[in-house]
Amino acid sequence: MEPTQVTIDIARSAVQERKTTALALAEAHYARIQKEDGQIGAFLTLCKERALEQADRIDRMAAEGKPLPPLGGVPVAIKDVMSTRGVRTTAGSKILGKYIPPYDCTAVARMEAAGAVVLGKTNCDEFAMGSSNENSAFHPVRNPLDLNRVPGGSSGGSAAAVAAEMAVAALGSDTGGSIRQPASFCGIVGLMPTYGRVSRYGLIAFASSLDHIGPLTRTVKDAAIVLRTIAGRDPMDSTSADVPVPDYAAELEKPVRGLRLGVAKEYFGDGLDDEVRHAVESAIDKLKSLGCEVVPVSLPHTPYAIPTYYLIATAEASANLARYDGVRYSYRAAGVKSLSEMYRRSRDEGFGAEVKRRIMLGTYALSAGYYDAYYLKAQKVRTLLTRDFEEAFGKVDAIVTPTSPTPAFRLGEKSNDPLAMYLADIYTVTADLAGIPGISVPCGETKEKLPIGLQILGKHFDESTILRVAHAYEQAA
Catalytic site positions: 79, 154, 178
Query: Whose Cβ is closer to other proteins: residue 222's or residue 432's?
Result: 432
* C-beta separation of 84 from 108 below 8 A: yes
Distance of closest approach, residue 418 Cβ to other proteins, in angstroms: 5
Query: Whose Cβ is closer to other proteins: residue 158's or residue 302's?
Result: 302
Does residue 2 interact with other proteins by CB under 8 A? no
- Binds other proteins (CB under 8 A): choice among 25, 226, 434, 457: 434
Residues 81-140 contacting other proteins, CB under 8 A:
98-100, 102-103
* C-beta separation of 388 from 129 below 8 A: no
The separation between CA 130 and the C-alpha centre of its own chain, rounded to angstroms, equals 12
Query: Whose Cβ is closer to other proteins: residue 109's or residue 443's?
Result: 109
Does residue 348 interact with other proteins by CB under 8 A? yes
The separation between CA 359 and the C-alpha centre of its own chain, rounded to angstroms, equals 22
Strand order in the sheet with 117-122: 43-46, 117-122, 75-79, 169-174, 212-217, 189-192, 438-445, 451-458, 398-402, 260-264, 293-297
- Binds other proteins (CB under 8 A): choice among 185, 343, 427, 473: 343
What does the alpha-carbon distance between residue 95 and residue 384 come to, in Å, rounded to a whole number?
Answer: 37
Binding marks (x or -) toward other proteins, 375..414, rule CB under 8 A? -xxxxxxxxx-x----------------------------
Residues 138-157 contacting other proteins, CB under 8 A:
none
How is residue 374 annotated by DSSP?
I
Beta bridge partners of 213: 173
Distance of closest approach, residue 450 Cβ to other proteins, in angstroms: 27
Q: Is 172 exposed, middle or buried (0-12, 13-18, 19+ CB in 10 A)?
A: buried
Does residue 332 interact with other proteins by CB under 8 A? yes
By CB under 8 A, which span of 28-36, 122-130, 219-227, 337-345 interacts with other proteins?
337-345
Does residue 1 interact with other proteins by CB under 8 A? no
Q: Could you tell me what percentage of the chain is helix, strand and coil, using 3-state DSSP and rounding each to the nearest 5?
A: 45, 15, 40
Helix/strand/coil for 410: strand
Residues 185-214 contacting other proteins, CB under 8 A:
195-196, 209
**Residue of 123, 120, 127 whose CA lies nearest to 160:** 123
What does the alpha-carbon distance between residue 67 and residue 58 come to, in Å, rounded to a whole number?
Answer: 10
Residues 233-272 contacting other proteins, CB under 8 A:
235-236, 238-239, 241-243
Query: Whose Cβ is closer to other proteins: residue 33's or residue 366's?
Result: 366
Distance of closest approach, residue 353 Cβ to other proteins, in angstroms: 8
Question: On the CB side of 56, how many CA atoms lie within 13 Å of its CA?
Answer: 6
Q: How many residues bind other proteins (CB under 8 A)?
A: 73
Distance of closest approach, residue 463 Cβ to other proteins, in angstroms: 14
* C-beta separation of 89 from 101 below 8 A: yes
In three-state form (DSSP H/G/I as H, E/B as E, the rest C), the secondary structure along 262-320 is EEEHHHCCCCCCHHHHHHHHHHHHHHHHCCCEEEEECCCCHHHHHHHHHHHHHHHHHHH
- Binds other proteins (CB under 8 A): choice among 418, 445, 474, 477: 418
Residues 14-43 contacting other proteins, CB under 8 A:
none
* C-beta separation of 473 from 255 below 8 A: no
Distance of closest approach, residue 128 Cβ to other proteins, in angstroms: 18
Residues 349-378 contacting other proteins, CB under 8 A:
351, 353, 356-357, 359-361, 363-364, 367, 374, 376-378
Query: Whose Cβ is closer to other proteins: residue 337's or residue 447's?
Result: 337
How is residue 323 annotated by DSSP?
G
Does residue 232 interact with other proteins by CB under 8 A? no
Distance of closest approach, residue 54 Cβ to other proteins, in angstroms: 22
Query: Whose Cβ is closer to other proteins: residue 380's or residue 395's?
Result: 380
How is residue 336 annotated by DSSP?
-
Binding marks (x or -) toward other proteins, 285..314, rule CB under 8 A? ----------------x-xx-xxx-xx---
Query: Whose Cβ is closer to other proteins: residue 185's or residue 374's?
Result: 374
